[in-house]
Structure 1
Amino acid sequence: MNWLKAVEDTVTGLGYEMVDCERNPQGLLRVYIDRLPGGQYDQAGEFVTVEDCEKVTRQLQYALEVANADYARLEVSSPGLDRPLKTAAHYERFAGQDVEITLKAPFQGRKKYKGVLEAVAAQEGAEGAQAGWQLIFKVGEGKNAVEQALGFTLDEVREARLVPVVDFKGRGRRAATPAAQDVSVDEAQELGDQNK
């Protein structure tokens, strides 16, 4: 059993998805895991936690020892907010979201595009036609912006990643000065004196 198969079998056996696995010459083995959509660890709005990474790390240490894998250090982490898309299943899962792709060969003078990912069905009757993908993006600014679509297949993509979305709406705002009912009489007097 090779070490990569041991890693993948262990991660999927625990109910997670192995997004990527890197091994560098200095002996670092880095494994990126994610929760499977609809899986036992998938909860709405939740990401991979430290506990998830600890759980996978403990199991991987045993599995890699059995597989006699040579590594100096093991890191298990989430794929991050800019999660890479590597397989057709990844593209299907994240259709409708903002994605940044880098093409292998330039198209109209550029390789990088950012837009909304959509699936494109294969045309009926076309010989050798396969389902593909398209990126819907805007060209221009403001009222002059025009939507365009870039069709591509997975073979044409060098790298694809989700565009990170950071939402701070869940945080409550704290008032700069406390409301009168939240302070004692002595504190209210001090606040009144300061405001004069």
Structure 2
Amino acid sequence: MSKVTDIVSELATPIVDELGLELVEIEYKKEGSNWFLRVFIDNETGNIDIDDCALVSEKLSQILDEVDPIPTAYFLEVSSPGAERPLRKDKDFEKAVGRHVHITTKEPIEGASLFEGELISFEDGKLTVKEPKKTYVIPQEQIDTARMAIVF
């Protein structure tokens, strides 16, 4: 269903740009008998509120009705990516420096494939993650999943 997400991304990007927001991710998936189109937005401060979501939802819904790129019925949800937002783009990693992250890799690095700690730096496609007992350098191309992590 990546074609749907690509089309929605093209339609949503000008809307979020105009509002000074960031398009973080678009998800289109079936859950039970229903289809969901989820659009995740953020801003520089990370403080997305219900008004931001409602405004993007209203504007995006209008253009989706006009263009009609999705042949089946679906539910549109616009929300913040949350405290454990995914990290995918270079700018996501740059903004996460100094914060706690959770990373899994495609192949083990120094015997480990799960890393959780402070992202010390992101330079030249390499992440430096400091865990309590060790610091790892993880090539970006080896990352399977990466997200912010909450420390309790």
Which sections of structure 1, spanning at least 5 residues, go unmatched? 122-129, 140-147, 167-196
Post-superposition Cα deviations, 1:133-188, rounded to whole Å, max 9, x if no partner, equal 2101123xxxxxxxx2211222111111111257xxxxxxxxxxxxxxxxxxxxxx
Name the CA shift for 1:57/1:165 in 2 (closer, same or farther; >3 Å). Answer: farther
* 1:26-41 → structure 2 map (5 Å cutoff): 26-35=34-43, 37=44
- What's the secondary structure of 2:47's corresponding residue? coil
2:120 is the counterpart of 1:160: no
Which sections of structure 2, spanning at least 5 residues, go unmatched? 1-5
Partner of 2:3: none
| RMSD of aligned alpha carbons | 2.0
Report the structure, 1 or 2, having the larger strand content: 2
* 1:53-132 → structure 2 map (5 Å cutoff): 53-70=53-70, 71-119=73-121, 121=123, 130-132=124-126
8 Å Cα contact 1:34/1:78 also seen in 2: yes
* Number of residue pairs aligned between Structure 1 and Structure 2: 142
8 Å Cα contact 2:104/2:145 also seen in 1: yes
Which structure carries more relative contact order (alpha carbon 8 Å, separation 6+)?
Answer: 2
State the AA in 2 paired with 1:138. Answer: P
Q: Distance in 1 between matches of 2:75 and 2:122?
A: 42
1:131 is displaced (CA, Å) by 4.4
8 Å Cα contact 2:121/2:127 also seen in 1: yes
1:14 is displaced (CA, Å) by 1.9
Name the CA shift for 1:68/1:59 in 2 (closer, same or farther; >3 Å). Answer: same
Larger Rg: 1
Task: Give identity over the alignment, percent.
Answer: 27
